Structure 1
Amino acid sequence: EKLEEWVKTLFSDVPNRETLASRDWISSVPYDASWKRSFYISPISERRRLMLFFPMPPIQPFYRTKPAQLISHLIGHEGPGSLLAVLKELGYASELSAGPSLSLANSCLFAVSVVLTEEGVPSWYRVMQIVFHFIHLLRKSEFQERYPLWLEIKKIHDFNFQYKSKDREDVQSENMAHSMHYFPPEEVLCANELFFEEFDEDQNFRINHILDNFLKSSNMRIHLTCPENELPQNFLDGQELSPPSPSPPSDPSSDPTFWVEKYFGTRYKVREHNSTWVS
């Protein structure tokens, strides 16, 4: 009530011109072929991580069924027989997560993030192969196998929403203001949390559509982060893209082939994918 009072007091004099913000940009997709490259990123602190990004259509239109949620749950699962369990057993990884990392009105980025061990860095390509083998197993799974898993996820979401801790007022207001652009008023508070429809063949088809058309090697961007002295030579196999107008390095021993990010000075290398990586 207090927030409503403030809004009325502070914004009542703002004229309502009955106009809507331009949404022409939604028709364009920001991830063209040049975006799908391989990036080595030199960290400031000691960090080892492999990230695979897959651009795909927006997920908001399917908020009632959340087809990407089942995929996120299965790839990111940490129990026996999971993708992470296999990578841990091989000594390649310590953590793994998966799911939409950036969701916009015209697109979405699905990300698989693997925290690598020191042994995992030189085996990054093997790690990537195992990830895609797991995705292949998901493609082969049937409706009857997926339904019990979906039911488990739905119950977890229901439970989490029912016993969710109260958010800070400013965070809750910001989230609601954002959600009001996409969801009907009666579902603004729960649209991102709950499943509204039963798992059926249509949902199963959407899951297959995501797996078959977007979570594939020809549609990925690779980020490898590790200390420079650990950079695997086979990561540099792709065609090198030179920095635009490189400036003389302040350190004569530094590698002039590094790109340097404008604001934070992050050093990175850019490569076209090696053809064997996307076959």
Structure 2
Amino acid sequence: MSTEEKDTTHFGYKTVKTDDKETMVASVFHSVAKQYDVMNDLMSFGVHRLWKRFTIDASGVRPGNSILDLAGGTGDLTAKFSKLTGPQGKVILADINSSMLNVGRDKLRDLGIVGNVDYVQANAEALPFDDNSFDIVTIAFGLRNVTDKDKALRSIYRVLKPGGRLLVLEFSKPEHDLLNKAYDFYSFNILPKMGELVAKDGESYQYLAESIRMHPDQETLKSMMEEAGFEQTTYHNLTGGIVALHKGYKF
């Protein structure tokens, strides 16, 4: 890789300085944080709840587990994990974006979820946790926004316990051409307008649509996880491959 390639990265379809991407992504999520949950329901017609339920079911969570919900945003997965791990367990809701973290904290506290949940502002590329700390790490709809995904995967691998597992829930590549075309039309013609009407920010939702197209496809992400050290790596396509759940273990 040339020096120029190392110094630049993508922000949606734009090429930007690598050092600038984190700030630009932060601006997007500061803007959309308060309407994030509403927009998730509207954008996915509520199906995101089923995708997240599938992730919880696939995690193998047990009472007493220690779990890191990375890029956990408004806390949907944390809320479920908190109940399933019980008082002897621990769930950390971590997000690089303070606005998203604050919305998540307020939401979970309003739901009465306290005691076994901590909140940490953290960068996935350099997690501030000890080696071998977690039984499970999840990152749902967050990996595509990370500047250096390979570095983040290695950081996650480090903090997992031996026998621990990573689950990556993320938008991916639809399996069928007709679905892909319909998805493109929706993403680039409907989604930004919806963002403008509801969140008063069409540009951020334009970026989110573009960031999905720039994210590695199913097989590429699987290979990246294996390069980071994960074993028995698999993925399961959801909604025709619009979303995929990747899973890998640390042994």
Do these two structures clear the TM 0.5 threshold for a shared fold by scoring above it?
no
Identify, as 1 or 2, the structure richer in strand: 2
* CA radius of gyration, larger in: 1
Identify, as 1 or 2, the structure richer in helix: 2
Q: Which has the higher contact order (CA 8 A, sep 6+)?
A: 1
